[in-house]
């Protein structure tokens, strides 16, 4: 994975919880294969996809996002090895 893609993903590793204006999300999976990311996001030019679950919704179902990490995103809990 290129450093540019890693910058766009930011600290969103499996197990991380982050918050932004759209909600609070737990990262369930990280897809860095561009072909699979494009399929999941239903767009031609995708470099990655982050599979998340909205933790504020008891019935929240996993879904893919392809947005880049910005200054308005806030890491609540780091992911990675547990």
Dihedral sign (CA 29, 35, 40, 44): positive
pLDDT > 70 fraction of the chain, expressed in percent and rounded: 98
Quick check: 8 and 75 in contact, CB under 8 A? no
Residue 51, both tokens: 């599979």
User: In the prediction, which pLDDT does 60 show?
Assistant: 87
Report whether 51 contacts 64 (CB < 8 A). Answer: yes
* Cβ atoms of residues 45 and 38 within 8 Å: yes
How do residues 49-72 score in pLDDT, each as one tens digit?
Answer: 999 999 999 898 999 999 999 999
Question: What region does 73 belong to: left with phi over 0, alpha with psi -120 to 50, or beta?
Answer: beta
**Rounded mean pLDDT, 32-48:** 94
Mean pLDDT, to the nearest integer, of 10-14? 96
pTM of the model: 0.91
Closest CA to 79 of 19, 13, 34: 13
Query: Taking the domains of the chain in order of start, what are their residue ranges?
Result: 3-67
């Amino acid at each position: 994975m290129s450093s540019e893609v890693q910058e766009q993903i930011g600290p969103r590793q499996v197990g991380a919880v982050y918050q932004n204006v759209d909600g609070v999300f737990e990262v369930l999976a990280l897809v860095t294969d561009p072909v699979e990311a494009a399929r999941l996001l239903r767009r031609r030019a995708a470099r990655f996809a982050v599979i998340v679950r909205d933790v504020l919704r008891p019935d929240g179902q996993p879904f893919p996002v392809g947005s880049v990490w910005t200054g308005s995103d806030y890491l609540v809990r780091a992911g990675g090895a547990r």
